[in-house]
Homo-oligomer: A and B are copies of this chain.
Amino acid sequence: MDYEKDGAEIYRQSFATIRAEADLAAFDPVTAQVVVRMIHACGMVDLAGDVVATPQAVPRARAALRAGAPVLCDAQMVASGITRARLPRDNDVVCTLSDPRVPDLARRLGTTRTAAAVELWGERLDGAVVAIGNAPTALFHLLDHLRTVPWRPAAVLGIPVGFIGAAESKQALVDNDLGLEHVVVRGRRGGSAIVAAAVNATASEVE
């Protein structure tokens, strides 16, 4: 079969197609580059219309990574999608979901395991880049948790997916009064591939 087999050329054509079709007028160039890669991960140029990003979210997250901050992920699939070679400081990519303490913690807190796993981030939260791509309960729990601890992440890429609580949890992040820098995709859409792409784009300016 006849098809493009040059990986670099596929990337080039993909990003050119996205920039030709997507309406990126709402974003500054630094944030737009992240939105382009989020679109690349899901195949939908109209995603741009649902992205909300505070102007400093990408710059702060990028600076944090350059300073060696970890990436805290709600799901192993998010961690798996982060391209280690793009990380500037061989940064830690942390997912605490499979920690043996999580099931018991979830029972005691009366919540999901993904939400309980957020508690185990501990002081690593301070200055970190948070990447939530699966569970609305993780994002809701993070917003509650941050009222009880002194640590603040550099930015929250809050892009859980789904039908129950996803839209609401992302709106709660947008409306937060904690001063959290954030990138979200409003509504039901989201997921591990989109948030991993946002981390990858933030980690390196190489398109």
Contacts and interface: CB of A to CB of B under 8 A. Distances in A.
A126 to B, nearest CB: 22
B3 A137 contact: yes
A5 B137 contact: yes
Interface residues of A, number: 48
B18 A163 contact: yes
Contact of A193 (B3, B6, B193): B193
Nearest to A169: B3
Contacts of A144: 1
A191 interface: yes
A44 B76 contact: no
A26 interface: no
Report which residue of A43, A136, A165, A188 has the largest number of chain B beta carbons within 10 angstroms of its beta carbon.
A43
Given A6-B112, A17-B163, A17-B164, 17 more contacts: A1-B140, A1-B172, A3-B169, A5-B111, A10-B165, A14-B162, A14-B164, A40-B162, A42-B189, A42-B191, A43-B162, A43-B188, A44-B188, A76-B80, A79-B80, A80-B81, A191-B193
